[in-house]
């Protein structure tokens, strides 16, 4: 089987490429701005993703595309026209690739979307399911939904579409808020998150990579929208405790009431950060597991251990 992966040098892309490179039956093509560290992969340089990008060299002879490259969510977006920037890459760029893939005879297109298509929180206590009405709240989530809708419309071409909506993904080389939490814990900084009873679904990058590879070839994945997680939801308090244990630096947590945290975040204009750290976002991935006979290959604790080991190793270098 010939598989093309985009975003091969990204956080998720590296994990997917590493797994595919271990399989002798796979002929792998990696597309991106820079060549990934995959000796067994053919590399096609794609300097920019947009509506005019020429993908012919990448999609010719390809059976399956796993499309991970995207303009990602940013806490502080400096682009003067962020809506157009998200649409150019995540919508127009994705659909341009998909159309060229369909014309080239690609059999299946696996699109990495986001749980942000469903929404930002599950305050009602009911986990998100794939069949729930979409309710994106930011430009990134809107762009992913628009790309999903455009891809479904391409189903008439005969190319099978698979959509995967992951939650927060963590693992070696993770960035953003997860990296910040590891830095706080490693420095022994007291954190005011000792009384949170929220619940959030996460997915280890190894689990997500394994699911995407499964979606590339499982017959029941065709035409599906799939949600996935590690299968164990954690409060932010519990996550910090277990992450601190993995780092060898027990979390120093102060039991500040959530109402006080909310007020402080509002006064500082950091409501978004409060929602991500203190709100709930649960995913029901049981339908995915049943459909594909798939189970996460690592537990939460093992995923945290691998993440912590990489973080500590990078600190020593």
pTM of the model: 0.95
Write down the catalytic residue from 43, 140, 170, 274: 140
Whose CA is closest to 238, among 207, 274, 198?
A: 198
Tens of pLDDT, residue by residue over 117-126, are 999 999 778 9
Instruction: Specify the DSSP element, H or E, that contains 6.
Output: strand 2-6
Catalytic residue check, 43: no
Q: What tokens does 24 get?
A: 């002798």
pLDDT score recorded for residue 178: 94
Q: What is the band of 77 on the pLDDT scale with cuts at 50, 70, 90?
A: low
CA 49 to chain centre: 18
Per CATH, the number for 2-170+203-230+284-292 is 3.40.50.720
Tens of pLDDT, residue by residue over 141-178, are 999 999 999 999 987 789 999 999 999 999 999 988 89
Q: What is the band of 76 on the pLDDT scale with cuts at 50, 70, 90?
A: low
Q: Whole-number mean pLDDT of the chain?
A: 93
Tens of pLDDT, residue by residue over 180-235, are 999 999 999 999 999 999 999 999 999 999 999 999 999 999 999 999 999 999 99
Q: Where are the domains of the chain?
A: 2-170+203-230+284-292
Distance CA 206, CA 173 (A): 12
Distance CA 84, CA 300 (A): 37
Distance CA 314, CA 24 (A): 31
Q: What is the band of 100 on the pLDDT scale with cuts at 50, 70, 90?
A: very high
Whose CA is closest to 305, among 246, 249, 250, 251?
A: 246
**Whether residue 74 has pLDDT greater than 70:** no
Q: What is the band of 72 on the pLDDT scale with cuts at 50, 70, 90?
A: confident
Tens of pLDDT, residue by residue over 42-51, are 999 998 999 9
Strand, helix or coil at 104? Answer: coil
């Amino acid at each position: 089987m010939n598989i093309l992966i985009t975003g091969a040098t990204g956080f998720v892309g590296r994990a997917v490429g590493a797994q595919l490179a271990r399989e002798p039956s796979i002929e792998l093509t990696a597309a991106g701005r820079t060549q990934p560290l995959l000796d067994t992969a053919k590399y096609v340089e794609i300097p920019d993703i947009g509506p005019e990008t020429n993908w012919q060299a990448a999609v010719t002879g390809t059976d399956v595309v796993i499309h991970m490259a995207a303009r990602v969510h940013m806490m502080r977006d400096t682009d003067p026209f962020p809506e157009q920037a998200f649409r150019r890459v995540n919508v127009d760029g994705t659909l341009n690739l998909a159309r060229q893939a369909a014309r080239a005879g690609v059999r299946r297109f696996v699109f990495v979307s986001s749980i942000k298509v469903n929404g930002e929180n599950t305050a009602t206590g009911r986990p998100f399911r794939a069949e729930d009405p979409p309710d994106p709240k930011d430009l990134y989530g809107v762009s992913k939904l628009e790309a999903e809708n455009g891809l479904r419309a391409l189903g008439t071409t005969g190319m099978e579409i698979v959509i995967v909506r992951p939650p927060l993904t963590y693992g070696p080389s993770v960035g953003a808020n997860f990296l910040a939490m590891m830095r706080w814990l490693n420095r022994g900084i007291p954190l005011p998150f000792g009384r949170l009873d929220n619940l959030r679904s996460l997915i280890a990058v190894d689990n997500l990579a394994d699911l995407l590879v499964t979606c590339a070839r499982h017959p029941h994945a065709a035409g599906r929208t799939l949600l996935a997680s590690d299968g164990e939801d954690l409060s932010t308090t519990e996550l910090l405790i277990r992450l601190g244990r993995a780092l060898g630096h027990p979390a120093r947590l102060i039991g500040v009431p959530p109402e006080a945290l909310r007020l402080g975040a509002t006064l500082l204009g950091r409501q978004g950060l409060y929602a991500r750290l203190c709100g709930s976002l649960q995913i029901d991935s049981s339908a995915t597991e049943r459909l594909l006979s798939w189970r996460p290959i690592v537990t939460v604790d093992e995923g945290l251990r691998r993440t912590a080991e990489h973080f500590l190793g990078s600190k020593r270098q």
